[in-house]
Amino acid sequence: MFPVIFEIGPLKIHSFGLMVMMAFLGGGWMVTRELRRRGIVPDHLDGYPLLALVGGIVGARIYYLLEHTGSLRADFFGTLFGGAGLTWYGGALGGAIAVLLWAHRKGQSKLEMCDAFAPGLAAAYGIGRIGCQLAGDGDYGPPSDAPWAMAYPHGVVATTVAVHPTPIYEILMMIPVVGLLWWLRTRVQGAGRLFGVYLVLVGAERWIAEIYRVRPEKTLGMSTAQWTSLGAIALGILFYLLLAKRPATKA
């Protein structure tokens, strides 16, 4: 593992931070291209991906703190300002709130905006998981004797035991998800329905990934992320079914 890929004196380039930047650039390029294709060209077009990034980081941090209230009570400032703790569902919610508020202010269709972001969001998530794998940040799974199991002896959350490389599983699952969303973006009719497909696909992907992740806290046999995933899937189905009669998006 390579938590730090470049270091000169006090200057350190962390692999996770580098991949977050790559996720922003790659996902942002896809979003900007899709916004233009759909004719959504407000002032400061390139600001939407940046808003999603800032809102996503804030939301991810808040979600993490809500999940770790015990640590927050034990060490308030250490947990609040610590380096760990960016949760995907919180990031998705925070980014969505920031973008939709700005879209509302600019008079843009919020459903159309959701559709435009869907492929780029999926791509950014997959790229971000490369950072998790390189950093060995604890997103791996339980011990395994599978031929592809690996240890993370130099990871941020180190382990010398061979475990399921869950970030790799997620990267592999997200490749067809991104490809399918990119293909469907010109084919799914009805504003908001593509975003519904996105919610179903990423919800299913995350639910499966949680099977191979160490999560001791469970409710009725499922982790918090799995329950949230089911909520995302249900919401995606509602989006797809209820928005069928909405005006079709531009192809």
Q: What are phi and psi of 229, to 5 degrees?
A: -60, -45
Q: Is residue 16 part of a domain?
A: yes
pLDDT of residue 178: 97
pLDDT of residue 48: 67
pLDDT bucket at 251, cuts 50 / 70 / 90:
very low
pLDDT top residue among 164 and 76:
164
Q: Is residue 194 part of a domain?
A: yes
Please say whether the beta carbons of 52 and 98 come within 8 A: yes
pLDDT top residue among 110 and 151:
151
Note the Cα 186 to chain centre separation in Å: 23
pLDDT top residue among 48 and 170:
170
Q: Is residue 15 part of a domain?
A: yes
Please say whether the beta carbons of 173 and 208 come within 8 A: yes
pLDDT of residue 83: 47
pLDDT of residue 182: 97
pLDDT bucket at 10, cuts 50 / 70 / 90:
confident
Q: Is residue 93 part of a domain?
A: yes
pLDDT of residue 249: 47
Q: What is the pTM of this model?
A: 0.81
Per DSSP bridges, beta strands 222-223 and 218-219 are: antiparallel
Q: Is residue 143 part of a domain?
A: no
pLDDT of residue 250: 45
Average pLDDT, the chain: 81
What count of residues does the chain have?
Answer: 251
pLDDT at residue 80 tops 70: no
Q: Is residue 248 part of a domain?
A: no
Residue 178 is which amino acid? V
Q: Is residue 133 part of a domain?
A: yes
Q: Among residues of the chain, what percentage have pLDDT more than 90?
A: 35
Q: Is residue 48 part of a domain?
A: yes
Q: How many domains does the chain have?
A: 1
Domain that holds residue 181: 4-138+149-242
pLDDT at residue 175 tops 70: yes
pLDDT of residue 41: 63
pLDDT top residue among 245 and 206:
206
Q: Is 46 exposed, middle or buried (0-12, 13-18, 19+ CB in 10 A)?
A: exposed
- Here the tokens at position 28 are 């942002």
Q: Which of 103-117, 123-137, 179-193 has the lowest mean pLDDT?
A: 103-117
pLDDT of residue 71: 60
